[in-house]
Structure 1
Amino acid sequence: MKRLLFIIALFVVPAFALEIQNLRVVPKNIDAGNVTRIMFKLSGPAKLSINVKGLNGASVTSLISNVLYPAGQFSIPWKTPKKIESGYYIPVITAVDQISGESVTKQIETRTAKMISLPFTTSDLPGGNKEISYSIDKAALVSIRVGINNGPMYKIISNWELTQPGAYSVKWDGWDGDHVIKVDQLANYLIDIKYIPVEIDALYVTNPKNISKKTIVPASEILRQINAFVPKYSVAVSNKKIASNSKNNESINLDINVDDNTLEELGDIPYEYVLYIDGKRYGEIENTTSPYNWEISTKNLSKGSHVFTLMICTSIEQINTRSFKVTL
């Protein structure tokens, strides 16, 4: 009996989940037109498909499609196109287990750190412009905003753009985004620069004919592994629909319309409208819809011109600002 059990045991193969291990690219930095190798280990026989995508999730090329591979270590060459855009590229491997039929997908992940304030310098340029200079030693999402201390950010210069390591300078004319407020003449104005370091263990291709210092990427793609959400949306506010024709001129109607693309990207993320008048917070409207009509009381405002600043915000941060003048 013991001999029979031993013989049966020899033919019983334990079931292990299929794994794709040690996925990497070698070399990680190449010029366009050169060859890199996608290396990985397969724990069991499987049909493989290998695609390469950009950081924005768009597919660039398909290297292998539904090809049977045994267990083992593999090195798949990829000759990058000569006309490829400069930037990061991520291989995605899908394997279908030939025993269980289980499908496994593996790709090189991105890792992020916490948000950090970034040191910078400013210098005055001819014509009243300013130059804001900063440097980073690793790839990072960079946000540059200007506004007032403990108040609204009137202009978004860089909205969480993925920026490669190096020294940078951006020019700013001193105005808000709508050219209504000369922000750099306000007594308590500030420049706020923050960044989130990003470690990307992927291939970086440099095309000397098409070098892009900044690759814009949806923030959710980079930040999916940390407990924060940095939205990146636009909002359209129609200034032409602002009219002072209600209730004895003691209020105005502010018609707000958020564009369809923004609403689609926001999805179920809650947002609110926040209004500042002459730099002071007037109030906010939560659980909003679009379009939305907001009746603004003007009882406490003097006759003359006033600057209204409307923001759309999530629970994390301000994501867009529009400023305009209202004359009472």
Structure 2
Amino acid sequence: MVVRLLIFCLAVSAPFASAVTIADYSSPAFNPSNGEQFEIPIIPEEFGALVVVITTPDGDEVRQLETTVPETTVGEQVVLEWDGRDAHGKVVPDEAYVPVVTLNGEGVNNPAEYSGGEVIEGMKPDFSRKGVISFRLDEPSRILIRTGIQGGPLMRTLANWEPRAPGKNIVRWDGYDRDGVVNLMEEPDLGVLLTGFRLPDHSIITIGNDRDYSEWRAAHGWTDQMPDPKSIVLQRDGERLSRHFFLPRIVEREPELSLKLNNETVNDQDMSVDGPLTVTVDLDSTDQWAMDQSQYEVAFFINGEFVAEEEQGYVPLRWRWNPTGLEPGTHTLTVNVSSFNGAVGVRTFEFTTTGDR
């Protein structure tokens, strides 16, 4: 296993100065799949060649917009439009993109270097047993929402560090776990976690395209890499920064787990157990690199209660357990594979025990 430990430092950012200013947007989000255009207002302090490079949250160059600033418009607003497409003319996946601005090849204004990552303190979701989770944001942010059983397993991720616009936000949920096995609404110890951090200033949030962001990056040939530890700070201007702000998006994605019960692949079929069982846990190959960037652990829960854990996780992992004490009937087994970077893979399935245990 490749283990990379990030060292977080306390630091104060240097004062920001640039020959170009990005003005406020009327709205930070738009839907390019519907043909919408996004206006990026720039205020240049001198005339010349103005370039706006649209970048991914991982710093990849998506598209370059150019115009010439005449002397007559210096100090006034110049608007460039982005149609939400990459350099190949394809609509980009739903994400938060950052404009990086240069004037005459100098005076770079990159909002991701001086803003973003500030932890949102004290967020409290308005949770309805009808499956509606609402919350309010003051600024564009990334949000994580997870549900599970308090003192037990994580059962489902409802929003995995998704970009969200300011104002009232709503997440609808059918109440079930990731695999549709357990109705968590009926659990007295149901837990809902809501946390987040602010996006860089002037981020542009695209909506309306469900294309997978990681696959889109891979198709462009952009490689994933962990950040330089020297670039990671815990505070800026007295505000606490989230370590998740510095991680590549692929490290945050929920890994896909494959399970076998007594060498039989777990799908949607009924699983019958008569005696000791062996569970084999493996990761989808596309998620292996991301999980290998830190240590991870594998935990097992029966009917929502913790029964075993492998702290120095590796895959494939084989776990053998004797269901002594379980009454004959249907039970649930939940597996959590948890990265020290915060990603969690979840699977839950039902199995039936026969005879007296």
TM class by shorter chain equals: 0.5 to 0.7
Equivalence for 1:37: 42
Could you report, residue by residue, the CA deviation over 1:54-108 in whole angstroms, capped at 9, with x for unpaired residues?
Answer: 33534232357xxxxxxxx9999562134557954321659999xxxxxx97622
1:303: which partner in 2?
A: 328
Helix, strand or coil at the partner of 2:287: helix
Cα distance, 1:327 vs. partner? 1.8
Aligned residue for 2:9?
Answer: none
Note closer, same or farther for the CA distance 1:51–1:113 as it changes in structure 2 (3 Å cut).
closer
Judge conservation of contact 1:138–1:197 (CA < 8 Å) in 2.
no
2:255 aligned partner: 235
Q: Deviations over 1:149-185 (max 9, x none)?
A: 2222211111111111011222222211111111111
Specify the alignment match of 1:60 in structure 2: 62
| Structure 1 residues 27 and 121: alpha-carbon distance in aligned structure 2, compared to 1, 3 A threshold | closer
In structure 1, how many angstroms separate the alpha carbons of the residues matched to 2:278 and 2:103? 55
Contact 1:274-1:284 at 8 Å conserved across structures: yes
As a proportion of its length, which structure holds more strand? 1
Q: How does 1:259-278 map to 2 (within 5 A)?
A: 259-278=284-303
SS at match of 2:82: coil
1:230-268: per-residue Cα shift (whole Å, max 9, x none)? 7522333334x21289xx954211111111121112333
Match of 1:68 in 2: none
Q: Measure, in 2, the Cα distance between the counterparts of 1:234 and 1:40.
A: 44
Q: Is the 8 A contact 2:52 2:65 kept in 1?
A: yes
**2:286 partner SS:** helix
Equivalent of 2:22 in 11, 21, 25: 25
Which amino acid in 2 is paired with 1:139? P
Deviation per residue, 1:170-220 (Å, 9 max, x gap): 22222111111111111221222x232315222648xxxx755999989x8
Following the alignment from structure 2 to structure 1, what is the Cα–Cα distance between the partners of residues 160 and 299?
19
Q: Distance in 2 between matches of 1:236 and 1:200?
A: 29
Identify if the C-alpha distance between structure 1 residues 296 and 236 changes in structure 2 by more than 3 Å, giving closer, same or farther. farther
Structure 2 runs not aligned, ≥5 long:
1-15, 28-35, 67-73, 86-90, 215-225, 234-240, 265-272
Distance 1:291 1:121, change over 3 A: same
Structure 1 pair 304–318 and aligned structure 2 pair: CA distance change class (3 A): farther
Does 2:195 align with 1:200? Answer: no
Partner SS, residue 264 of structure 1: helix
1:143 CA drift (Å) = 1.7
Tell which structure's C-alpha radius of gyration is larger. 1
Query: Which position in structure 1 is the counterpart of 2:159?
Result: 158
Would the alpha carbon gap of residues 260 and 23 (structure 1) be closer, same or farther in structure 2, given more than 3 Å must change? Answer: farther
3-state SS, counterpart of residue 263 of structure 1:
helix
Q: Distance in 2 between matches of 1:94 and 1:306?
A: 64
SS at match of 2:116: strand
Counterparts in 2 of 1:161-240, with a 5 A limit?
Answer: 161-192=162-193, 194-202=194-202, 204=204, 225=233, 226=241, 228-229=243-244, 231-239=251-259
Indicate conservation of the 8 Å contact 1:29/1:204, yes or no. no
Aligned to 1:89: 98
Structure 1's unaligned 5+ residue stretches are 1-18, 42-46, 65-72, 98-103
Report the counterpart of residue 286 of structure 1 in structure 2: 311
- Are positions 1:251 and 2:276 aligned together? yes
Query: In the TM superposition, what is the alpha-carbon distance from 1:279 to its structure 2 partner?
Result: 1.4
Q: What is the match of residue 108 of structure 1?
A: 111
Residues 291-316 of structure 1: per-residue CA shift (max 9 Å, x gap):
22222232343433221110011235
Residues 201, 290 of structure 1: alpha-carbon distance in 2 compared, 3 angstrom cutoff: same
Inter-partner Cα distance in structure 2 for 1:178 and 1:107: 41
Q: 1:265 to 1:315 in 2, by over 3 A?
A: closer
Which range is displaced more, 288-297 or 23-32? 23-32
CA distance in 2 between counterparts of 1:143 and 1:21 reads 33
The 3 A distance-change label for structure 1 pair 275 and 117 is: farther
2:111 corresponds to which letter in structure 1?
Answer: I
- In the alignment, what sits opposite 2:221? none
Equivalent position SS for 1:184: helix
TM-score (norm 2): 0.63
Q: Which stretch of structure 1 is more off in the superposition, 110-119 or 269-278?
A: 110-119
